[in-house]
Amino acid sequence: MSKAKPRKRHQLRPTTIEPHRTAAAGSVIIRQGDTHVLCTASIASEVPRWLLDPQTGEPKRGWVTAEYNMMPGSTPDRKRRGPDSRGTEIQRLIGRVLRAAVDLDKMPGVAITCDCDVMLADGGTRTASITGAFVALSQAIAAARKAGLIKGNPIKGPVAAVSVGVVDGQIYTDLDYPLDVRAEVDMNVAMNHQGQFIEVQGTGEQGVFSREQLDELLDAATKGIRQLMKVQRKALS
């Protein structure tokens, strides 16, 4: 289903992050080739009870969480609505990575939910969700600061993610679905702005991979993520 023009192995698919009007405090669409995800970030008016100090009843810290969903029309075979184990795993990944971007102690009593709804799926939906959701989260935090809900800046720095893989023995960055199904190694990498890893999920889908290939995959991911952070900066400027 990919209509992307032939690109170099380490070239990202054309990527944009644009504002999209919803009622949420943060709201963007990230388009990475034919993978399109609507990412919203909503500020909760009530924080979960477990965020409260049991002694004082006051919130000691804030919370950031994520939900991920593929819309029914996002794939050629209609995706059934409702939770599944893949989606549950992916949304936990997105939440962990986003929490690495913020100091929760600096946003007491504020809970932000980042919803990632895949409108069009062509590989790399979880990584695009992370990259887009960071921008939506930043918008929501800016709105919360403006409203006086958060004092100071809880954002430590951007986080973004990309997929890399080995196809026909060669390293590729930002796999679309046709590459993804052929990949001998499939890896999702999330990093912060200091080039530190937050999460690496790698699988030898059709075999094994060497330490040398692992290093090459991580180098490719690092370069791809640097590019994605430029797109994030532009969206937030």
Query: Binders of ligand UDP: how many residues, by CB under 6 A?
Result: 12
Query: 3 or 21: whose CB is closer to ligand UDP?
Result: 3
132 binds ligand UDP (CB under 6 A): no
Which residue from 7, 10, 79, 182 is in contact with ligand UDP, where contact means CB under 6 A? 79
Contact between 144 and 100 under an 8 Å Cβ cutoff? The reply is no
| Both structure tokens of 159 | 């986080």
Q: Is residue 126 annotated as involved in ligand binding? A: yes
126 binds ligand UDP (CB under 6 A): yes
Report the site for ligand UDP in 139-178 (rule: CB under 6 A): 163, 177
Rounded to whole angstroms, the Cα distance separating 37 from 119 reads 6
Q: Is residue 152 annotated as involved in ligand binding? A: no
Query: 177 or 209: whose CB is closer to ligand UDP?
Result: 177
121 binds ligand UDP (CB under 6 A): yes
- Please report how close the Cβ of residue 181 comes to ligand UDP at its closest, in angstroms: 8
Q: Which chain residues interact with ligand UDP by CB under 6 A?
A: 75, 79, 86, 121-126, 163, 177, 180
